[in-house]
Chain A
Amino acid sequence: EDQVTQSPEALRLQEGESSSLNCSYTVSGLRGLFWYRQDPGKGPEFLFTLYSAGEEKEKERLKATLTKKESFLHITAPKPEDSATYLCAAHSGTYKYIFGTGTRLKVLA
């Protein structure tokens, strides 16, 4: 069964304290791995799409990487405005989009 698991469920960081969020996936025929940011009461906001193992993408303080089994979202020197829930999703060979439960990130000033 296709599955996406994110860890940790919640993460508290001090401003400037870098860390990584994990997304493990078991998906038949991965067509794309997506990262989104979701603020409370709002829709997910697209961050990155990764298509093949070894691929990396960066945007400001965020960097996403992909292996054959997992993806990481690295946050470098986070700021309080980076506080949000970060969602990972896989687009499978059966053309379904499978989301993880997310990591709730809180960055303290």
Chain B
Amino acid sequence: EPEVTQTPSHQVTQMGQEVILRCVPISNHLYFYWYRQILGQKVEFLVSFYNNEISEKSEIFDDQFSVERPDGSNFTLKIRSTKLEDSAMYFCASTSDRGYYEQYFGPGTRLTVT
């Protein structure tokens, strides 16, 4: 069964450092998403991406964040200068169509900023 994969599973970084979280969406999907979940809190939408551009983003997704689809399979989230409050689980998801079909989530990357 096709699945979304994410690497690394756990990333530890120092405050101020740049991190790149990687995702491989399901191969025939067209829409890609990043979410985050701070420990014990709700899942929060960050950004959606279609046709090589951002289609929607939340207030959380500020200039410190960027997304990219560098090739035909990977989808990345970059945080330029990490803050302590960026510590969270980051989930990638993909869907075959915009919101009207099920989103498949990856297993997540736990980001710890020290």
Contacts and interface: CB of A to CB of B under 8 A. Distances in A.
Interface in B25-54: 33, 35, 41-45, 48
Interface in B54-94: 55-56, 58, 91, 93
Contacts of A91: 99
B42 A31 contact: no
Contacts of A31: 99-100
Q: Is the interface on chain A under 10, 10 to 19, 20 to 34, or 35 or more residues?
A: 20 to 34
B45 A101 contact: no
A31 B103 CA distance: 14
A46 B103 contact: yes
Interface stretch (A12-20, A37-45, A66-74, A76-84): A37-45
B56 A43 contact: no
Given A44-B91, A44-B105, A101 B100 contact: no
A42 to B, nearest CB: 6
B99 A43 contact: no
B107 A99 contact: no
Interface string A33-70: 01010000111111001010000000000000000000
B105 A45 contact: yes
B10 to A, nearest CB: 11
A20 B108 CA distance: 28
B105 A95 contact: no
A5 B25 CA distance: 29
A108 interface: no
Nearest to A102: B42
Contact of A49 (B33, B42, B44, B102): B102
Given A42-B108, A95-B56, A96-B58, A101 B42 contact: yes
Closest 7 CB pairs of A and B: A43-B105, A46-B102, A95-B56, A97-B45, A99-B43, A91-B99, A101-B42
